[in-house]
């Protein structure tokens, strides 16, 4: 049975249980792994177990009925401090970490974590979207926020447990990474994603859930993002285009531009979002092609597997060239966050891929 109802990460729970039993639990952890695989849920359930009044810490279990568990479930436990991006924002605001200009270091996450626990012996902090601390889109403020967090990590609170959540270690400053115990969360199995979609009634149709599970790259949130007919149709056309070694560059550009421009809104933010969807799909394709080139099974639906195999038979680029293409995609995604004009970005990005 999955630990605390969280699928796919029992080994991580066992690692924490062992640390608690040995009395050697670190003060700061960095949870890394793809979005939508359960890092946030794991952090919340870990906090719940440590505040459960019916179980010892080393049991890493929660009754779900005591006052501590009920407060955690209601999101009102005073000893659990959570901070992250607000809706519609690309960054974690510095005010949420260290207070506004009139209350610097007298409000915000860092101040709250400096206080003694009100109940029990743990003061637990969760920094969601920690990778946004060094987002290029707002570098000056974000470095100030990251440095404020760093100062706290250098002298962690005696009764504190801090968990930073990010998609990769490279998103954070090396000085922050060096002060964290890294915990890696792997992608979920496709059938696990499918089961979660159905059991949580996120998708009603089993066949649709199975397709989304195969397209979700081991992530529930990614599977839900793919739950759009226009995106699934574009994905199919894009993969076929990438898999055709003789497809002209102009056709690839037209395909992506047509998808970006055919959104319900012509607002720049919508167009950037659809451009980023295209970039992420290309990243998925090249990642799976690289897996095939180094002898690892391709993960995905039958369409992706067939297109990758077809390209390999025609003569796919070596892993070194694929790595360069992935770098070009990641650079294009960074340009989206910097609000580069998509009309200029798309042809330049695809031309770079086409030439490699």
State both tokens at 89.
């924002």
What's the whole-number mean pLDDT along residues 154-182? 89
The stretch 173-188 carries a mean pLDDT of 91
- Decide if pLDDT at 31 tops 50: yes
Lowest mean pLDDT among 125-139, 286-300, 304-318: 125-139
pLDDT one-digit tens code per residue, 296-351: 999 889 999 999 999 999 888 888 889 999 999 999 988 887 788 999 999 999 99
- Average pLDDT over all residues of the chain: 89
Q: How many CB atoms lie within 10 A of CB 137?
A: 15
Fold of 3-184: Rossmann fold (3.40.50)
pLDDT band for position 263 (50/70/90)? Answer: low
**The predicted structure's pLDDT at residue 140:** 52
pLDDT at 137: 44
Position 288 pLDDT exceeds 80: yes
Instruction: Specify the higher pLDDT residue, 63 or 144.
Output: 63
Separation between Cα atoms, residue 193 and residue 213, nearest integer Å: 5
State the pLDDT at residue 61. Answer: 95
DSSP 83: E
Element (H, E) at 229: helix 229-243
Given a cut of 70, is residue 1 above it in pLDDT?
no
Rounded average pLDDT over 231-250: 92
Lowest pLDDT segment from 16-20, 111-115, 232-236, 276-280: 111-115
Question: For residue 107, which phi and psi values (nearest 5 degrees)?
Answer: -145, 170
Report which listed range, 114-128, 224-238, 251-265, is most confident.
Answer: 224-238
CA pair distance 78, 83, nearest whole angstrom = 14
What is the reported pLDDT for 175? 87
Please determine, for residue 141, whether its predicted confidence score (pLDDT) is greater than 80: no
3 state DSSP class of 107? coil
How many percent of the chain have pLDDT more than 70?
A: 94
**Who has greater pLDDT, 99 or 251?**
251
Model pLDDT, residue 88: 62
Between the CA of residue 263 and those of 191, 205, 259, 267, 334, what are the distances in Å?
A: 31, 25, 7, 9, 22
Classified as helix, coil or strand, 81 is strand
Average pLDDT of the segment spanning 237-266: 88
Residue-level pLDDT at 134: 64
pTM for the full predicted model: 0.85
8: left (phi over 0), alpha (psi -120 to 50) or beta: left
Which residue reads 């790259």 in tokens? 217
| Mean pLDDT in residue range 16-27 | 93
Residue 5 reports pLDDT greater than 70: yes
């Amino acid at each position: 049975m999955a630990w605390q109802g969280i699928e796919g990460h029992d080994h991580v729970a066992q690692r924490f249980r062992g640390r608690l039993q040995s009395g050697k639990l670190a003060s700061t952890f960095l949870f890394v792994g793809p979005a939508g695989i359960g890092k946030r849920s794991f952090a919340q359930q870990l906090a719940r177990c440590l505040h459960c009044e019916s179980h010892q810490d080393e049991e890493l279990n929660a009754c779900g009925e005591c006052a501590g568990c009920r407060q955690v479930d209601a999101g009102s436990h005073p000893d659990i401090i959570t901070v992250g991006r607000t809706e519609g924002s690309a960054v974690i605001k510095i005010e949420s970490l260290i207070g506004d200009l009139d209350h610097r270091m007298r409000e915000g996450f860092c101040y709250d974590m400096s206080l003694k626990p009100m109940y029990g012996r743990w003061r637990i902090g969760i920094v969601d979207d920690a990778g946004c601390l060094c987002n290029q889109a707002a570098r000056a403020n974000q470095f100030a926020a990251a440095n404020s967090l760093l100062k706290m990590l250098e002298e962690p609170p005696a009764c504190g447990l801090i968990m930073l959540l990010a998609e990769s270690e490279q998103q954070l400053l090396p000085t922050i990474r060096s002060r964290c115990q890294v915990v890696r969360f792997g992608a979920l199995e496709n059938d696990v994603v499918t089961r979660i979609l159905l059991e949580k009634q996120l998708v009603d149709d089993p066949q649709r859930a199975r397709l989304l599970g195969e397209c979700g790259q081991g992530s529930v949130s990614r599977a839900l993002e793919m739950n759009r007919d226009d995106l699934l149709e574009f994905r199919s056309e894009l993969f076929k285009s990438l898999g055709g070694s003789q497809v002209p560059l102009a056709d690839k550009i037209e395909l992506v531009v047509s998808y970006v421009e055919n959104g319900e809104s012509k607002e720049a933010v919508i167009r950037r979002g659809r451009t980023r969807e295209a970039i992420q799909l290309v990243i998925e394709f090249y990642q799976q092609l690289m897996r095939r080139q180094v002898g690892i099974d391709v993960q995905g639906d039958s369409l992706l597997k067939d297109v990758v195999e077809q390209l390999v038979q025609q003569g796919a680029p070596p892993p070194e060239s694929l790595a360069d293409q992935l770098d070009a995609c990641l650079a294009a995604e960074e340009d989206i966050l910097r609000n580069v004009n998509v009309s200029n970005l798309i042809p330049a990005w695809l031309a770079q891929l086409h030439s490699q």
